[in-house]
Structure formats: C-alpha cells, structure tokens
Amino acid sequence: MEKKLSNNDFFDLRGTLNKWMSKWYWFAISAFVCVSLVFVYTKIKKPIYLVQADVLITPDDGGSISPLGDLGQLFGNSGYVQDELYVISAHSVNKEVARRLNLHKVHREKEFILSDFKYDDFQVDVYSEGSVADTLRMALLFKVKVNKKGKVSVEVKDALKNELADVTSESFPVTVDTKYGKFVVDKTKYFKAGEDLKTNIVFMGYDAQAENLSSDLDIYIADRKSNVIKLGIETQNIEYGKDILNGIIAIYNERGVEERALKARQTLEFIDERLAMISSDLSESESDVEKYKKEKGIVDVGAEAAYQTGKRGSAEAKLVEAETQLDILKMTKEFLSNPGNQYDLIPTSVANEALQGIITRYNEMIMARINLLNTAKESNISVQQLNQRIGVVRGNIMETLERTLDQQRLIVSDIRRQLGGAKGVLAGVPTQEKQYRSLLRQQSVKEQLYLFLLQRREETAMLIANSTPKAIIVDEAYAQQEPLGMKRSMKLFLAFLFGLLIPVFIFWLMDLLKDKFGTTEELRKHTALPILGEISVDRRGDALAVKEGGSSTTAELFRLMRSQLQFLMQNPEDKVVMVTSTIPGEGKSFISINLAASLAIAKKRVILVGMDIRKPRLAQYLGLPPTKGLTEFLADPAVTVKDIILPASGQMKFDVISAGPVPPNPAELLLSDRVDELFDVLRREYDYVIIDSAPVGVISDSFNIVRITDVTIFVTRANHTKFSDVKYMNRVAEDHRLKNVSVVLNGTKARQGYGYGYGEKRKKKRK
C-alpha cells in the first residue's frame, strides 16, 4: 500500500534550538550591542527624580472666637478640599510661579550626545524688554553658539521653524531684533571662557509655561476622607522641582490670606456703619431715660419697681428677645435692599431656621463667586451663570424675609397683648413706672446690639491682624533618594535578555517569511516522500566530485545515496533511474553525473544518458569531445546505439550518451519508438541507466519518458527550491505521473560527521 503524503506540522523545538545554537555568535553580538547601548545610555542620561510636597487644608471658619453661637458663623465661609484642589492647581497660580521663577526661559546646553537641562547654572541667558513674556503667544528658539575666542552666533526661530533673526561673529552682549521685540543675549556668572558652547534657549510667554507646568504637575487629594493635598513633579533637576512646588504653596497661601483679609475688611466696614447708627440710637435712648427720671422725680427705680418686675419679668424678657429678632430682620432687609451690597456676604443671623438656611446657602454662593473671580473674569460664562443663581436666591431671601417680618411683628404684638392683659394686675403701678420701663426696654435692646457689634468688631480686627493661610505645610518639597525607573543593574539585565531575544525574533521572522528550505529537517516537514540523502556544496567546482580513491565529504554523501538507492531497487529488473527537478538550477545534472560515478566505482556497469534535449549541458559539464548524441539517434534510423555511446575513460568510469544538438521537435522525438529500442539495449548491457532529464516544472519532456523508467530521483536544492515547488513535487507523486519517486537535497552546508573523518585519516597517513 502506498504511503499517503502529508505535511508534518508539529514544532520541532530541539531542531529549532540546535539551528539557533549553530548561530550562537549572533546572540553574543546582539546581547553585547544591547548591553553596551544601555550602559552608554545610563551613563549619559540624567536620572529623573520625583519631588513631592504635602499640605493640610484647614476649614475656613472665618476666624471667629465668639461664644454667641450661630451668629458668629455668618462672618466666615467653610473651605472644602475639593474646591481648594482646583484653586491650588489653577492656571493663574502656575502663571505666577512661572513669573517669579523665570520659568518662561528653558535652557538646554549641549553635552556629549544629549542636551542637559539647566535651571540656575546656565552660562548664557536671554533678556527681553518690557512685558514681552506677558503677551508672547508663540515660543521662540534661540540657538546660541560661542567659540573659544568668545565670538557669538545667535539664530532665532519661531515654533513654525521660521527664521526670525541670524546674528554671527558678535561679542557679548548680543542684541537681536525680531518682530516680537528686542532681545539681548548675554553671558551669566557661570559662563566659562575659552570653551566651545552650544546652547538652546526656548523663550515663551508666561501663559504657555503655565500650561506646561499644569501638564507636568500631579496634584491630588491624598485620600477621599483626608484634607491633605499632595503635589508632585518628575524632573531631572531636584532644585527646580522643589522651587516650583514651594512656589505654588506660597502663592496659594498668599491668596488665602488675602481672601480672608478681604472678607474681614468687608465685615469690618459693615460693623462700623451699624455701630455708628446703633450708637446714635443708644445715646438717644439713654437721654430719654435720663430726661424722664428728671421730669418724674424718680430716684431709686429698682427698689420701686422690684415687686412689679418680678411678675412681668418673664413676659418682658420674651418681648425683648422678640423685638431683638425683629430688629435683626429689619437690619437684614435693609442690607439686602442696598444695591451696593449686591455681592457681599449677609452678616446677620436670624432665629428662623428656614430663612437662616437660605442665607447660609447665599453666603456660600457669594464665596464661590469670589473664588471664581480669582481665576476668571467678570464676563466669564461661569461667573454670569453664578450671578443669575445668586439673584434668584436673593429674591427668595427677600420673599422669605418679608414673611418672617410679618410673623415676627405678630409675635411682638402678641407678647405686647400679653403684657396689656397684665395691666389689670398692675393697676396700682404708677403710669410713670410703665413709661419708664418702656424706655428701659428700648435702651436694653440698643445696648445689646451695640455690645454685640463691638465684640464682632474686635474679633474682625484680630482676624485681619492674624490672618493665617488655609494650607498648613505638612512636608515642604522633598525629593526621593532613588531616581524613578529601574536600577542600572536591572536595565543591563533586561538589555541582555532583549539582546538574546532579538536574534530569536529575527530568525523566527525569517522562518515565517521565507519560502525556501535549507535543511533536510525542513524538507521532511513538507513531504512524505523518501529522502535518499543530502549533498553538500563542493567548493572545488568540479562537476565530477566522486572519483576513485576520493574521500571528500561529497563523495561520502554519494556513497550513502548509492546505498539508499540500492534498497529502493530490490527488483532485478529495476535499472533505469531518472533524475529530474522542478526548476533549473537545482543541480540534477551534478547529481546524475556523480551518482553514475559512485555506482561505477562500486564495480557496476553504468551509463549516463542526457535526455534534457532542450538545454543540454551534460557534455559541457564532463568536458566530452564532440560526438553524436541522443537526438541524432532518435531522428536518424541510420545511427546505431554504439554510434552514440561514449565509453568511460580516465576518471570517468561510466559510459555516456550526450543529448546531442537541440532538435526542433523535442517532445515528438521523446515519444518515438526509437527511445524504447534504445533503452531495451541499455537494459541488457548495463546494470544501471541514469537519465539526466529536463525539469518537470518547466516542460513536460520528463513525463514523456516515464514509460521507460523504474525509479525517479527528484532533486531539490537548499535555499533555492521553494515550498511551492515541493508541493508540486508531492502532487506529481500522488498523481503517479512519475514512478517510485524519492528526493535528494542538494547544496547543503557540510557538517561535522560527514565521511566519518576518512579525509583526516588519509591526511595523517600521508604525513
């Protein structure tokens, strides 16, 4: 039963590893190059450090030290950490940092291969006139070159690579005129005379640098339940990172102090206004009491009214409290009715919880507006929307306040009615006593309001004098000891591994993309046909590599091939071996010649027949003299077999029939009966008949002579025959278009073990 052809698709790990190990030097070179590159890179590349700072955000309680309860909260606002996070990372803060630290100029001096960032020790600087950095919208690149003689060349380009100025062979300072203004390039105290210098200076606006800082900075809340904000920046220059973080914290605290002081000053102005009014009212009330005493001749009011006060004390206390709240409500309404206080905090507290809730919400929106105006203009859409919401809430407060005033008036009226009911009980009290008590009550209300405002005035003054920032610095800017990224040893180790993987990837990619095979193992994966052997490349360039007494690697391989062929030809009648290939250039003629020579050396009668009549090369390869060939025999019945056989001579131990001249009708000649007559004679006279036929993948001549063959040797060539050619060979064998097909791989590299060292032994004997 004939063996079915199939491809062997399993992955030969051992074979692959052996193939790769044979090219170990590529792995060594790749690993050495990768490790060297990483080593040089780590030497010249500046390490990057993480600089961090931590601040604790304290709630803004307005700095109140008053024990009077909720009334004190009206003069402050609570700061929320999430809101403060936006403030501390605001564009205006970054812009101010860039302004104070001159970060709008970035210096990079050329050092060896890479350029080094310079923060404060740069040798050359650029100075601008006026407020160029405030208005500049496009970054400018100053390329400065200084030779050993101190001559300076300055080239200026914008962000679009347009050249703005080019000044050469000048001395410091160099003035450069551009359409953006005049700039002066001058040396600093760090300038090193007598050395070549190449430095690039990027000059940009404060706004542009603020955007760069925003992308470089990492500002976030340490924990969801925490009031700590963490600031971080990755940089090559630790001092640069520290100055930026400390500068941000300082500017944020300055703004916090200014904000609190502003709120306190507004409160103080309002209190002073109210004190002036209350002071006048209180003075008037005291004058009324004094005048009344004189007119009525009252000396000891306390002793006279002690009995009456005990009964009416409770009702009067309630009335005082109710009237106090009524006055506070009137003060609040008066404050809201004043257009000048449209966006000021409401500095009063009321007993009505619903109204107080709306006032608290209104104050929060006012503070949000103040904070927003720190980073935005009045025309900003967010500010406009907030103004609308403030107006709506303000209207709600006025409506609620009107209702509350009406309710409070009713409460005061009710208490007064209660006191009126007590008149029957106090009928014996002189009218003058009741009038006197009324005056004292009015005086008491004014006095409590006056004392309250005096206390708040002192507290506000202390707040202004002792304004504290919102951010408590937990950790000033500090840098971690170890730079970011992997250690050098780990980088070198990974570079070594990567260097080993590069050849693996390249070899794998080459195997994936290549369409040719190079070894017997690769050939076996693509065909199930028996492989007689492989023939290594013979560097001597002699077509007849197998000679009597020869012990070369090629000769030994042909001996192995001869043994394999004899196993295939067990039938005594099998004598004719056709050697063919798929395409030209695979070495079928070389295989035919040396297979015939190997069989002849084994004392076999062998004849080699050149049947590639379209492109005959056999006579040329063997250096045969001109003689009649196969085509002449097939075309002329007068030519006999003996006329075309060239007997063996010299190193050639086998007979030869050359192809002869190229005929006009090669296909018809090979189908003639003269071919059968010829091979009938050759079968009787010889043990082996080797046919050097035409490639089957190019022309069909070889298929025309299958009838006279017994065995077919299909020649393939390493790194020449394609996988598609092997597939064609498999199809030909499966379709039985050729007889008893076996394969030979030609053109492989010689490997240790071929010939079993016979050549070395012969050399030693000669010595």
Residue pLDDT, tens place only, 358-399: 888 888 888 888 887 877 777 788 878 888 888 888 888 888
Of the candidates 647, 619, 622, which has an alpha carbon nearest to the alpha carbon of residue 631? 619
DSSP output for 549-586: T---HHHHHHHHHHHHHHHH--STT--EEEEEESSTTS
Say which amino acid occupies 617. R
Residue 75: predicted pLDDT = 39
For residues 64 and 460, give the distance between their C-alpha atoms in angstroms, rounded to a whole number.
8
Supply 599's token pair.
Answer: 């069989």
Q: How many residues does the chain have?
A: 767
Of the candidates 588, 513, 512, 569, which has an alpha carbon nearest to the alpha carbon of residue 688? 569
* Mean predicted confidence (pLDDT) in 261-289: 73
**DSSP 8-class letter at 120:** S
| DSSP bridge partners of 580 | 714
The pLDDT confidence band at residue 140, using thresholds 50, 70 and 90, is very high
Tell me the CA distances in angstroms from 542 to 178, 270, 474, 590, 653, one per residue in order. 78, 116, 88, 9, 16
Tell me the CA distances in angstroms from 110 to 26, 90, 116, 202, 426, one per residue in order. 35, 34, 6, 14, 102
- The SS3 of residue 21 is helix
Interior/surface letters 473-499, b for 16+ CB within 10 angstroms, e for the rest: eeeebebeeebeeeeeeebbeebbeeb
Tell me the CA distances in angstroms from 157 to 118, 163, 177, 179, 719, one per residue in order. 20, 4, 12, 11, 55
Given a cut of 60, is residue 74 above it in pLDDT?
A: no
Measured in whole angstroms, the distance separating CA 283 from the mean position of its chain's CA atoms is 76
Of the candidates 541, 570, 523, which has an alpha carbon nearest to the alpha carbon of residue 717? 523
* Mean predicted confidence (pLDDT) in 683-707: 90
Given a cut of 90, is residue 683 above it in pLDDT?
A: yes
For residues 581 and 297, give the distance between their C-alpha atoms in angstroms, rounded to a whole number.
148
For residues 741 and 693, give the distance between their C-alpha atoms in angstroms, rounded to a whole number.
14
Residue pLDDT, tens place only, 219-246: 988 887 788 999 999 988 889 999 999 9
The pLDDT confidence band at residue 67, using thresholds 50, 70 and 90, is very low
DSSP output for 335-360: HHH-GGGTTS------S-HHHHHHHH
**DSSP 8-class letter at 3:** P
Judged on CB neighbours under 10 Å (0-12, 13-18, 19+), 379 is exposed
| DSSP bridge partners of 655 | 607
The pLDDT confidence band at residue 80, using thresholds 50, 70 and 90, is low
For residues 672 and 500, give the distance between their C-alpha atoms in angstroms, rounded to a whole number.
62
Given a cut of 70, is residue 495 above it in pLDDT?
A: yes
> Do residues 633 and 643 touch, judged by C-beta distance below 8 A?
yes
Q: Which residue has the higher pLDDT, 125 or 626?
A: 125
The reply to whether omega before 664 is within 30° of 0 (cis) is no
Residue 606: predicted pLDDT = 94
> Do residues 613 and 695 touch, judged by C-beta distance below 8 A?
no
Tell me the CA distances in angstroms from 144 to 141, 161, 174, 193, one per residue in order. 10, 16, 10, 15
Residue pLDDT, tens place only, 558-616: 888 888 888 888 788 889 999 999 888 888 999 999 999 989 998 999 999 999 988 88
The most confident of the ranges 103-107, 416-420, 538-542 is 103-107
Q: Within a 10 A sphere around the Cβ of 353, how many other Cβ atoms?
A: 8
Tokens 């020790």 sit on residue: 121
Residue 125: predicted pLDDT = 93
For residues 104 and 203, give the distance between their C-alpha atoms in angstroms, rounded to a whole number.
6
Q: Class for domain 520-537+544-759, per CATH?
A: alpha beta
Of 204-213, 281-290, 297-306, least confident by mean pLDDT is 297-306
For residues 648 and 686, give the distance between their C-alpha atoms in angstroms, rounded to a whole number.
13
**Domain map (residue ranges) of the chain:** 13-47+484-513, 265-466, 520-537+544-759
Of 146-155, 289-298, 640-649, least confident by mean pLDDT is 289-298
Tell me the CA distances in angstroms from 171 to 187, 189, 302, 686, one per residue in order. 10, 16, 96, 100
112: left (phi over 0), alpha (psi -120 to 50) or beta: left
Residue pLDDT, tens place only, 504-515: 888 788 777 778
Largest CA distance in the chain: 179
The pLDDT confidence band at residue 338, using thresholds 50, 70 and 90, is confident
Residue pLDDT, tens place only, 112-129: 666 788 888 899 999 987
